[in-house]
Amino acid sequence: MEGFFYNSDMKKKFDLIVITGPTATGKTGFAVNLAKELNGEIISADSRQVYRGMSIGTGKDIEEYTIAGKKIPYHLIDICDAGEEYNVFRFKQDFEVVYKDITARGKTPVLCGGSGLYIESVLKDYKLMNVPVNEELRKKLETKSDEELTSILSELTVPHNISDTSYRKRLIRAVEIALWQNYHPADDPGNDLKYIIFGIHFERETIKKRITQRLRQRLDDGMVREAQMLLNEGISKEKLVYYGLEYKYLAEYLDGQYNYNDMFQKLNSAIHRFAKRQMTWFRKMERDGMAINWIKGDLTVEEKVRRAIDIINSD
């Protein structure tokens, strides 16, 4: 791809390049190749890749960060021990530290991931607060059904991660946070960050096929062994279930709740639903005025990068 490097004026136009899209669309490969052309470094916007020891299930694909022997620096991956709870409040703090470091060194920050709330917290500069635990409220919320909790959450106006409420404890915590923020409003969100967003687009049926194919590959690569290793190291089944998706279903499979085929089918369906919720979030971002430049997923990575750079230089 030598010879079509970005226009040098690009850095004056954009403070941040954002790569997003639903799961299994090849965001990492695209972001790394684009970062190479832009003298950039990757900042992960993935809510689970922060955990050490959770590599296969979260799709870290660390080998993708090296191109032709050149390692592209990445940040906010493997920064927490499995068993900890990481959230958008911590992410926003960590992002700001990393972003300042990258830009101070004259590099281009490339924010890459599918966690819509994490991305939006940066682009809208949410004034997030560390919401305390309210045990009395939690007891009251425990008496409500998942449908009632979801209804409460949908009626609240503060930002909350609607794509991450499949596990009941997460759902209750989301309501707890939303209620607290309603009574303790922060400054209105907004900043003067100059950014451009790229998304990778596949037709829905294609994404479903890619999800299924990738899941089979990850299972072949040892994803069940990875979950068992976490359990052996003292991470509770409840904590793995809390992390959702792959780790939820693997923990329940290892606990004897399903046979292998049932685990695969349930997990595969859950990831399909998750991808659909991600797209719902991205459409909401667009309605809120955050334009996403969608690039066809069936292009080669070189064509995707060329297309992105053309958009950057012409914007």
DSSP 63: G
For 59, the enclosing helix (H) or strand (E) is none
Provide the CB-side half-sphere exposure for 284 (13 A, CA).
Answer: 15
pLDDT recorded at residue 155? 74
Q: Which stretch of 11-15, 263-267, 272-276, 292-296 has the lowest confidence by average pLDDT? A: 11-15
CA 204 → CA 61, 113, 270, 272, 307, distances in Å?
A: 23, 19, 15, 9, 22
Provide the CB-side half-sphere exposure for 220 (13 A, CA).
Answer: 6
Q: Which two tokens stand for residue 241?
A: 């279930």
pLDDT tier at 11 (50, 70, 90 boundaries)? very low
| pLDDT tens for each residue of 231-285 | 999 999 999 998 889 999 999 999 999 999 999 999 999 999 999 989 998 998 9
pLDDT tier at 39 (50, 70, 90 boundaries)? very high
The C-alpha atoms of residue 14 and residue 197 are separated, in whole angstroms, by 10
Position of tokens 């230089």? Answer: 313
Please say whether the beta carbons of 284 and 32 come within 8 A: no
Determine phi and psi for 39, rounding to 5 degrees.
55, 50
CA 67 to chain centre: 23
pLDDT recorded at residue 88? 85
Residue 24 has pLDDT above 70, yes or no: yes
| pLDDT tens for each residue of 64-121 | 999 989 999 999 999 999 988 888 889 999 999 999 999 999 999 999 999 988 999 9
| pLDDT tens for each residue of 158-204 | 554 444 455 677 778 878 877 877 776 655 455 689 999 999 999 99
Question: Cα angle vertex 67, ends 62, 73, to 5°?
Answer: 55
Amino acid identity for residue 37 in this structure: E
pLDDT tier at 10 (50, 70, 90 boundaries)? very low
- Cβ-in-10-Å burial (0-12, 13-18, 19+) of 15 comes to middle
